[in-house]
Amino acid sequence: ASAKVICFMEKLGWRDRRISPDSGSLFQTFLKCQPQSLIMEPFGRNTAPAVAIAAMKLLADGKDELMLVLPADHVIEDIDAFKASLNSATEAAEKGEMVLFGIPALRPETGYGYIKATHSANLPEGVNRVERFVEKPDAIRATQYVESGDYYWNSGMFIFRASRFLEELKLHDPDIYDTCLLALERSQVDGDHIIIDRNSFAVCPDNSIDYAVMEKTTRACVVPMSAGWNDVGSWSAIWDVHDKDSDGNVTKGDVILHEARNCLVHSTNKLVSLIGIEDVVVVETKDAVMIAHKDKVQDVKKVVNKLEAQGRQEVKSHLEVFRPWGSYDSVDMGQRFQVKRITVKPGAQLSLQMHHHRAEHWIVVSGTAQVTCDDKTFLLTENQSTYLPMTSVHRLANPGKVPLEIIEVQSGGYLGEDDIVRYEDVYGRVDAPQTKSTNAVAR
């Protein structure tokens, strides 16, 4: 079965998570698969568009293969059991079925979607027809589902032939189909990277495989999978899958505990101390700190809704921002100034750009910088600096083999990220203007 499967990872999951090789993450299961190409989304539009573009790329290459769709933040403990379920699912997918993997509902979990299955004589052994999908239930209904024995948790893992998925998508959600086809046609190819056209993809509907196709098709079926599955979809789930100390605690970063038990503490910048606390999750980042009981971590969405209602900046942007060329991190800001730490990957470069309202100073901390400023291009090394006047056309590039790190000091009357006019961009994120204008786009 594995020879016929194309692995597609839809998201990266928790960066730097400490899952050991023997814990059996799906990424490690398929680590030996060599990617033929990497499809780069400019931003997320949920799973249906992502899988549609991958399927369209397969067909464009003349490869109407089976697609195994795996969110990358799931953990599978029993790899042999997973392979057995995959074999059954592959047999059904070869016959044109849209197969998903269902996890037997062993407890009344309110954070998962459910699938009700029914037997069908027309399907291979071990494969059942999907009767209906159920949204995340309340505790009473979840208990009823578990007691009936007819329900499975929706794992979010699928296998189907590329052409079958696109046929069903075109039938049930033609807007996604047409938009993805156009976005792929207009995409740029850089070696084995396919960079999806930003403008086309921006108008694509945001929808999941479940809503766009699986809940509407008559070909949906489910294969039971009892393989120690965990979707790592919450902070309490991260506590479940990690090694714990003698008091049941999981820690990451600078953490000191005293008489604390069964806690998860994630620190990225500051020392975090817990004293005399049990069953809590503490997450400290550059943007904010969250403290929650492990039984209530699913309610973080309610807090996010409150932040959005208040128009809080925390839901709109992060202090550390990742870009195709690297990342930048806000260090300090005040009236008419802002300080950033910028890291540029080896061989990468920012867009050729101009600012109407701010000037910049660049100071090289480590690595080598290639600087373009109007009609001049020159190199800077550690401890050297340069000044970029307001309205100068400039670019930063890393010609070296190690990461370039600089400190950028901005000064001016307006310091927003939308004060950027882009003239050239190797990442194809926008249609580049040819002359100075007020066309404002993100860095």
If asked whether residues 225 and 274 sit together in one domain, one would say no
Rounded Cα distance between 97 and 114, Å, is 19
pTM above 0.95, yes or no: no
* Confidence at 228, pLDDT banded by 50, 70, 90: confident
Res. 26: pLDDT tops 80 = no
* Confidence at 17, pLDDT banded by 50, 70, 90: very low
Res. 355: pLDDT tops 60 = yes
Q: Is residue 268 part of a domain?
A: yes
If asked whether residues 207 and 296 sit together in one domain, one would say no
Rounded Cα distance between 325 and 349, Å, is 6
- Specify the higher pLDDT residue, 404 or 104: 404
Rounded Cα distance between 292 and 405, Å, is 36
Which two three-digit tokens encode residue 160? Answer: 């189907």
pLDDT given at position 34: 67
Which two three-digit tokens encode residue 152? Answer: 């499975």
Res. 92: pLDDT tops 80 = yes
Taking residue 21's Cβ as centre, other Cβ atoms within 10 Å add up to: 8
If asked whether residues 148 and 195 sit together in one domain, one would say yes
Q: Is 96 left (phi over 0), alpha (psi -120 to 50) or beta?
A: left
Taking residue 433's Cβ as centre, other Cβ atoms within 10 Å add up to: 15
115-122, Cβ contacts within 8 angstroms, sequence gap of 24 or more: 115/151, 115/152, 115/153, 115/154, 115/222, 116/145, 116/150, 116/151, 117/150, 117/151, 117/152, 117/222, 118/150, 120/221
Helix count and strand count (H, E) for the chain: 10, 29
Q: Is residue 260 part of a domain?
A: yes
If asked whether residues 150 and 60 sit together in one domain, one would say yes
* Confidence at 15, pLDDT banded by 50, 70, 90: very low
Total domain count, the chain: 3
Q: Which of 253, 274, 301 is the last residue of a domain?
A: 301
If asked whether residues 291 and 343 sit together in one domain, one would say no
Burial 294-306 (b: 16+ CB within 10 A, else e): beebbeeeeeeee
- Specify the higher pLDDT residue, 197 or 12: 197
If asked whether residues 341 and 274 sit together in one domain, one would say no
Residue 148: its H or E element: helix 139-148
Q: Is residue 442 part of a domain?
A: no
Range of the domain at 191: 2-230
If asked whether residues 175 and 260 sit together in one domain, one would say no
If asked whether residues 105 and 239 sit together in one domain, one would say no
If asked whether residues 27 and 154 sit together in one domain, one would say yes
pLDDT given at position 429: 58
Phi, psi of 299 (to 5 degrees): -80, 5
If asked whether residues 277 and 399 sit together in one domain, one would say no
Burial 186-197 (b: 16+ CB within 10 A, else e): ebeeeeeebbbb
With a pLDDT cut of 90, the percent of the chain lying above it is 52
* Confidence at 55, pLDDT banded by 50, 70, 90: very high
CATH number at residue 186: 3.90.550.10
Bridge pairing between strands 98-104 and 151-161: antiparallel
If asked whether residues 27 and 52 sit together in one domain, one would say yes
Q: Is residue 212 part of a domain?
A: yes
pLDDT given at position 441: 39
